[in-house]
Amino acid sequence: MTSADEMYDELLRLSAKAAVLGSCGSVLGWDRETYMPPAGAEHRSEQLSLLAGMVHEQTTSARLGELLEALSETEFDGDAAAVRRANVREMRRAWQRAVRLPGRLVSELAKVTALAQQHWAEARGRGDYSIFQPWLEQIVSLKREEAAAVGIPAGGEPYDALLDEYEPGATSATIADVFRGLREQIVPLLQAIRESGRKAPAEILHRHYSIDAQQKLARQVAARIGFDFEAGRLDTTTHPFCSGTGPGDCRLTTRYDEQFFSTSFFGTLHEAGHGMYEQGLPAAAFGTPAGTATSLGIHESQSRLWENLVGRSLPFWEGFLPHVQQIFPGVLDDVDVAHFYSAVNSVEPSFIRVEADEVTYNLHIMLRFDLERALISGDLSTADLPAAWDDRFDHDFGMRPLSAADGCLQDIHWSAGLFGYFPTYALGNMYASQLFDAARQQLTDLDDQIRRGEFQQLLQWLRSQIHQHGQVHSAAELIQMASGQPLSDRPLVQHLEQRFRPLYGI
Amino acid sequence: MTSADEMYDELLRLSAKAAVLGSCGSVLGWDRETYMPPAGAEHRSEQLSLLAGMVHEQTTSARLGELLEALSETEFDGDAAAVRRANVREMRRAWQRAVRLPGRLVSELAKVTALAQQHWAEARGRGDYSIFQPWLEQIVSLKREEAAAVGIPAGGEPYDALLDEYEPGATSATIADVFRGLREQIVPLLQAIRESGRKAPAEILHRHYSIDAQQKLARQVAARIGFDFEAGRLDTTTHPFCSGTGPGDCRLTTRYDEQFFSTSFFGTLHEAGHGMYEQGLPAAAFGTPAGTATSLGIHESQSRLWENLVGRSLPFWEGFLPHVQQIFPGVLDDVDVAHFYSAVNSVEPSFIRVEADEVTYNLHIMLRFDLERALISGDLSTADLPAAWDDRFDHDFGMRPLSAADGCLQDIHWSAGLFGYFPTYALGNMYASQLFDAARQQLTDLDDQIRRGEFQQLLQWLRSQIHQHGQVHSAAELIQMASGQPLSDRPLVQHLEQRFRPLYGI
């Protein structure tokens, strides 16, 4: 008879092996976006698909299922009991989800989304939704099948089963609830800002910022807030991302626009926020849930916290502007901190989500959440999507997209089969504000620290409240533990009110 | 009953899968030397060791053995019969070699060499052989065990079994024979050069060469001779290498010394020569012997041909010097082609193999070949190695190493368990001269083409004679087919005589 300890050890070995193999794929994925020569693309697809297949085989193996079944009844005790319970719980959840998906569905989704992404790119390029619609139709149907296979929670809806992959424990109903509250307060705020007639001096950010200096600054600011370059990198790609490939190796990317300060600066703060979460996960727990980020929403909270709550705050710029003025000689000599602060917080409705400001960003997300939920439930047909998008956009932003490229074709997510992913962006914003409020209360002079360019205490606080726990606690539990409250729209709304009312004199 | 065609297809699938997995390791290995952050080293070792273990499992699987056994009796016919026969033959050879090695020996060799390389680095740093000797002792003993396990050919010696991994078909006796002939002619040539009293104006190469311009030049010259940057890269590493990671993706590295022109220039030509062989292998045959380089000696012949026979030739510099003068403004204004040609062909006995000129280089190799053969046969003890090295060096070069760091500790090979590897470097030089002679006869105005900076015909000739064949033909067969002669020392000796006698007025 095998003891529970022996089974648990075997479980960790199997899990670590799959994770190490998966991490090889992360390096190859990063390399594809950064340094791979163009002609290597076809072979790289073969490499990535082989690795993904092998990881899938390992994470759905019968032996893993046996171990998880047996261990799910085990009463662990001792110091590490909580971690062991969480590892078994989360691995079992992932295993069950994975084995419920028929192999045929997995490979069909992989095939259809690979082709759909090409057709989406073409459709977006031409602003012609009809090119993409048949592919979206197929994807929606496959995702419904996926939801049914994975299992719809009692009293829930198919969309919940998809959401669960990215934000475990969250449901459509609770998200819809928080979003409704948030929306009711953001819409009037945006209205007031637009009616204020005031414009932020955003042109300051569109002067000539040399790429060399931007690159230097991006590295400096990432290192300053605490990203560890001994255990990480910063490279250039068309689409910025953060890729944690295992202990001691986390890679950020950004892009540079010589005529726009914000792209690389705030982009780097954002990715470094993701990166510091990865760097703060317990290295010894690599390959287990205890060493893995708990949800996409929490991941996004870390990037948004550094990008927006720190990086666009007045104390930050009171401390940091002189350095930026120095690094771009002559470019910002006529600019004072009030102007700069106002410029980086310009609110301006625009069609494109990834260019949106803090106020409108969440409206972009809610629109997507409502529409994708309706697509999955069947309340909205793919044929009616463009009109539904444009009507809703007009209602929320007071303008209609000129083309589907600025509307429902702008994001890659749906073509990649990512339904249930969008809401994690807005959840991230809410988590970020709630965490930052808690940090502010617990670290009494946080604003002064930020003004002095000292970020260690804040990072340390995030490490202890969030990073070190991996998946031992869910997003909801972490938020409750860190702030003493369940998730609420209030901190985000308060933050937006306090930042933007004074800026727009309303 | 499975048909031969079905079995052959299954064989190719298994082989391709292992090769794709192995190629993931190549990317990770390249990344480790180029862009991996320092703290990622430990996790990278785990990734590489997992992949290596999985590849080993796949390439020694019982199913592979069954297929190879069954197919080894098959009479293939049709157009592709030669390729099929070669694939079965070479895969069977590799499979038999691999399964004969006990798992215990493989992992012990991996463990001991990993530690030995650390101790070697320390020993070399301190110039203290006693730190390394116990490790070398263990490695020699394990390599003897490996030779016995793999099987010593009838009438051969243990060293043959090791050599066979790098230069299939070659034996110690035949190599010793060619080396003896070569040596008898090089020693007097070197003697005459030293007695000529003439010195090449090598200081020209030690002026200030800006790294930026060197980098530009390295890319230019690699592209010019035919390395395809759409399917490859050039990066910077401490130890230069070429890594082919699959069709469409071959990566070179070099290093730059601001005070020495040759390091990056000839280093890049060398690695690009390796790279063009990889780029010339038939992509569709990736993962099979027909898509794999035939031997290390032939690989080295490609690098040496471009580095020395093209890159240090008078026609090359007659065409290329003006461009180099232009790219380093003011640095070479006082230098004419005769001086530059003489400088890049300076012959000067020195302790270090990797810095050696064309004449002395092969003597460095012969010394290592004789000593490592004696270590494996037991004629030389590891305790006696330093003295044996120094005596032989004194005899061949007329000087004694000041420390073991300049003597028997200089190369990493033995600490990594690479016995039988060194002779492929000198074989490469011989193959290169024999191939270049044949190319010159078949492409009548090759010197003029080189003077005009046109290298397509030469590359095309190498593609058709060498690259496209993969392992369908052995090194010996390729040399015979391309030159109409078996391997001979004559082309290399003639090349050295014709290049260096006029330069040194002898």
Contact B61, B1 (CB under 8 A): no
In this prediction, residue A453 carries a pLDDT of: 97
> How do the residues of chain B divide into helix, strand and coil, expressed in percent and rounded to 5?
70, 5, 25
Q: How confident is the model at residue A246 (pLDDT cuts 50, 70, 90)?
A: very high
Contacts of residue A54 in chain B, CB cutoff 8 Å? Answer: 21, 54
Nearest CA in chain A to B246: A43
Q: Is B272 exposed, middle or buried (0-12, 13-18, 19+ CB in 10 A)?
A: buried
Number of Cβ within a 10 Å radius of residue A486: 12
Q: Which residues of B touch A230 (CB under 8 A)?
A: 37-39
Instruction: Mark yes or no for CB contact A249/B36 under 8 Å.
Output: yes
> What is the 8-class DSSP label of residue A75?
-
| Nearest residue of B to residue A30, measured between CA atoms | B31
**Distance in Å, alpha carbon of A80 to nearest chain B alpha carbon:** 24
Mean pLDDT of A371-380: 97
CB atoms B247 and A42 under 8 Å: yes
Instruction: Classify residue B234 by burial, with Cβ atoms within 10 Å: 0-12, 13-18, 19+.
Output: buried
CA distances from B500 to B196, B204, B351, B430, B446 (A): 11, 19, 20, 16, 20
Report pLDDT for B44.
Answer: 93
pLDDT of the residue at B75: 87
Residue found under tokens 């992932």 = A94
Specify the amino acid at residue B304: R
Q: How confident is the model at residue A76 (pLDDT cuts 50, 70, 90)?
A: confident
A-interface mutation test, from B30, B32, B44, B230, most A Cβ less than 10 A away: B44
Asked if the Cβ–Cβ distance from A28 to B24 is below 8 Å, we say yes
Q: Tell whether A238 and A314 lie within a shared domain.
A: yes
pLDDT in tens, chain B (506 residues): 578 999 999 999 999 999 999 999 999 999 999 999 999 999 998 999 999 999 999 999 999 999 999 999 888 888 789 999 999 999 999 999 999 998 889 889 988 998 999 999 999 999 999 999 999 999 999 999 999 999 998 899 999 999 999 999 899 999 999 999 999 999 999 999 999 999 999 999 999 999 999 999 999 999 999 999 999 999 999 889 999 989 999 999 999 999 999 999 999 999 999 999 999 999 999 999 999 999 999 999 999 999 999 999 999 999 999 999 999 999 999 999 999 999 999 999 999 999 899 999 999 999 999 999 999 999 999 999 999 999 999 999 999 999 999 999 999 999 999 999 999 999 999 999 999 999 999 998 999 999 999 999 999 999 999 999 999 999 999 999 999 999 999 999 999 999 999 999 99
- Partner A, chain B 48-107, Cβ-Cβ below 8 Å: 50-51, 54
Contact assignment for A248 to B40 by CB distance below 8 Å? yes
Nearest chain B alpha carbon to A48: B24
| A44 touching chain B per CB within 8 A | yes
- The boundaries of the domain holding residue A31 are 4-151
Q: Are residues A24 and A128 in the same domain?
A: yes
Confidence (pLDDT) at A395: 92
Which of A24, A35, A233 comes nearest B47 by C-beta? A24
Q: Is A3 exposed, middle or buried (0-12, 13-18, 19+ CB in 10 A)?
A: exposed
Instruction: Tell me which of A128, A151, A174 is where a domain ends.
Output: A151
Beta strands, E only, A22-75: none
Q: Do A40 and B229 touch (CB under 8 A)?
A: no
Given this model, what pLDDT does residue B79 score? 78
A144 and A207 belong to one structural domain: no
Whether A216 and A133 map to the same domain: the answer is: no
pLDDT at A1 over 60: no
**Last residue of a domain, which of A111, A135, A151?**
A151
**Number of A:B CB contacts under 8 A?**
115
CB atoms within 10 A of CB A146: 23
- Looking at the complex, does the CB of residue B246 fall below 8 Å from at least one CB of chain A? yes
CATH code of residue A464: 1.10.1370.30
Q: What is the pLDDT of residues A270-310, one digit of tens each?
A: 999 999 999 999 999 999 999 999 999 999 999 999 999 99
Q: Establish if A372 belongs to a structural domain.
A: no
B367 located within any domain:
no
Does pLDDT of A486 surpass 60?
yes
Overall domain count for chain B: 1
d(CA B113, CA B414): 9
Tell me whether residues B27 and A27 touch, CB distance under 8 A. yes
pLDDT tens readout for residues B95-114: 999 999 988 898 899 889 98
pLDDT band at residue A103 using 50, 70 and 90 as cut-offs: confident
Element (H, E) at B244: strand B242-244
In DSSP notation, A370-407 reads HHHHHHHHTSS-GGGHHHHHHHHHHHHHS---SSGGGT
**Mean pLDDT, residues A468-473 taken together:** 97
| Cα A302 to Cα A300: distance, rounded to the nearest angstrom | 5
For residue A252, pLDDT beyond 80? yes
Indicate whether A376 belongs to any domain. Answer: no
* Three-state DSSP state, A250: strand
Averaged pLDDT, A27-41: 94
Residue A86: is its pLDDT beyond 80?
yes
Give the pLDDT confidence of A325-335 residue by residue, as tens digits.
999 999 999 99
A253 close to B (CB below 8 A): no
Average pLDDT over residues A469-496: 96
Strand partners, A236: A254
A21 contact B CB<8A: yes
For residue A399, name the pLDDT band (cuts at 50, 70, 90).
very high
Q: How far apart are CA A128 and CA A386, in angstroms?
A: 10
In a domain, B92, yes or no: yes
pLDDT value at residue A80: 86
For the residues of A115-183, what is the DSSP string, one character each?
A: HHHHHHHHHHHHT-HHHHHHHHHHHHHHHHHHHHHH-PPTT--HHHHHHHHHSTT--HHHHHHHHHHHH
Give the mean pLDDT of A143-165.
Answer: 95
- Using left for φ > 0, alpha for ψ between -120 and 50, and beta otherwise, residue A471 falls in alpha
How confident is the model over A332-366, as pLDDT tens digits? Answer: 999 999 999 999 999 999 999 998 999 999 999 99
Cα separation, B240 vs B267, in Å, equals: 7
Strand-strand pairing, B232-236 and B250-254: parallel
Q: What local confidence, expressed as pLDDT, does residue A385 receive?
A: 98
* Mean confidence (pLDDT) of chain A: 95
Task: Say what the pLDDT of residue B444 is.
Answer: 87
Question: Could B229 and A37 be called an inter-chain contact, meaning their C-beta atoms sit closer than 8 Å?
Answer: yes
A210 and A118 both lie in a single domain = no
Would residue A96 count as lying in a domain?
A: yes
Cβ B39–A245 below 8 Å, yes or no?
no
Whether B28 and chain A come into contact, CB under 8 Å, resolves to yes
Q: What is the pLDDT at residue B107?
A: 87
pLDDT above 70 (res A498): yes
Interchain contact, B50 vs A230, CB within 8 Å: no
Residues of B in contact with A281 (CB under 8 A): none
* Mean pLDDT value across chain B: 95
The interface predicted TM-score (ipTM) is 0.93
pLDDT in tens, B414-437: 999 999 999 999 999 999 999 999
B186: in domain: no
- The reply to whether A369 falls in a domain is no
CB B482 within 8 A of CB B465: yes
Residue B281, chain A, CB below 8 Å: the answer is no
Whether residue A367 is contained in a domain is answered as: no
Q: What is the pTM of this model?
A: 0.94
